[in-house]
Amino acid sequence: MTSIFSDLLQDCMEVFMDDFMVYATSFDACMENLSKVLTRYIDKNLVLNFKKCHFMVTEGIVLGHFISSRGIEVDKSKIDIITSLPNPASIREVFSFLGHARFYRRFIKSFSKIALPLPKLLQKDEHPFELMCDASNSTLGAVLGQRVEIDKQVHVIAYASRTMDLT
């Protein structure tokens, strides 16, 4: 669609995939711009779904944002959905919540600071694992641990031991 309307883009219309919006500063200019776009539709044998079309509106929802003469704002219904989500209880739910919240990050001052604890939950531990093993003629033993800070005690994750069969 962008190639079909390249000469009209950012002059009187915006295109996103197969959706578009025609705009102007006055009613007469908007009618003129709409006429140009619809003429191009006819010339290129394109078809509109009139059930999805909204003509001569001063505000509306476009790509999840509320567009009006005041500018781009948050769609209140999307905020209601985000605030009604349950607290994330799994990695998948954290990803889902962050996806919803990041959609509106441009409207939230210091979003990255506010949301920082959630992406940190998704990061893998940076501390190296240590495996300590010991063996004798009759037994084997091992301890898996992680040292959180240098020169600090190892935090034990798991113990393992076996007695050898001497036969």
Give the Cα separation of 57 and 63 in Å (integer). 16
**Which of 6-20, 37-51, 111-125, 146-160 reaches the highest mean pLDDT?**
37-51
Model-level pTM greater than 0.85?
no
Give the Cα separation of 153 and 145 in Å (integer). 10
Number of Cβ within 10 Å of residue 40's Cβ equals 15
Segment 57-95, tens digit of pLDDT:
989 888 888 988 888 898 888 888 888 888 888 888 888
Q: Record the tokens describing residue 94, joined without a space.
A: 């954290």
Task: Please give the pLDDT value at position 37.
Answer: 94
- 143 confidence band (pLDDT: 50, 70, 90): very high
Segment 40-55, tens digit of pLDDT:
999 999 999 999 899 9
Q: Record the tokens describing residue 103, joined without a space.
A: 């959609």
